[in-house]
Structure 1
């Protein structure tokens, strides 16, 4: 008998695999590459680097929407809204931090800029990830993190 957590992990894994299939479509990747190419010609390189995480968010959004739909069967609307808004807030904090670091370090060499981006963003990422998991688990005993879903997808692909 599957537990609620195993059932949720299975459904989220299937949703993530569907999203991965969407990403593998060549036309979609070509459209993103063309858009980024146009933007790279018209924008400063620091702003262009700041736009790259938007590609991640564009590809992550279908999974997050499907995840929200799946969680509607397991959680209350308040819990779903809390998790969704917390995820969105974390993405805004990470993206805003990346833009600020890139803009502030754009006059440094590439290696120094990379060092500061990694140092600052890694610490912010781990702090926000810890906060998200702590808050999400407090009201959801069967919480499944996105990292668990990614590990399960890799396990299934092997």
Structure 2
């Protein structure tokens, strides 16, 4: 017998696996970085590096929409679902906007300076936004963070999903 939390985790993992192709398949990340690097070299437009945050934001947005639909089946409070969705999307938009600004400001500097600036600025912002989201999620007794979902997907792998089919639980 599954608890609501385990059932929700499996459905969220399926949604993550189906939508978050950047998060579960490392070769897409490598392909994207190599492609953007080649485009930057061919066109001499350093601003093409800004495609990377845009692709990640778009991929995450698709997952958050699916997550919202799944949560509507478990949480009775529409306000809580909306708040969790807006907090997650808002934090990601803020983080990717700051990343874009840092990239633009440091694009003419050596890579290591850009790297240090990105981590120096984004790490505290990320930790604060995750703390706020987790604090808000505590209102739901079966709250599952995106980190837990990603960890579950990594543990189960992406090839054997027969026992975790969303068709069994609908």
TM-score between the two structures when normalised by the length of structure 1: 0.80
Once the two structures are TM-superposed, the CA of residue 18 in structure 1 deviates from its matched residue by 1.9
Q: Which residue of 1 aligns with 2:15?
A: 15
RMSD between superposed Cα atoms in Å: 2.9
Query: Relative to 1, partners in 2 of residues 1:79 and 1:95: Cα closer, same or farther, differing over 3 Å?
Result: same
TM-score between the two structures when normalised by the length of structure 2: 0.75
List aligned pairs for 1:58-69, cutoff 5 A.
58-69=58-69
List runs of 5+ in structure 2 lacking aligned partners: 159-170
Q: Which residue of 1 aligns with 2:101?
A: 100
Q: Which residue of 2 aligns with 1:141?
A: 141
Q: How many pairs were matched up?
A: 151
Distance 1:144 1:8 in 2: 8
Distance 1:91 1:150 in 2: 16
Once the two structures are TM-superposed, the CA of residue 4 in structure 1 deviates from its matched residue by 1.5
List runs of 5+ in structure 1 lacking aligned partners: none
List aligned pairs for 1:99-118, cutoff 5 A.
99-118=100-119
Deviating above 3 A after TM superposition, structure 1's stretches of 4 or more consecutive aligned residues are 20-24, 35-44
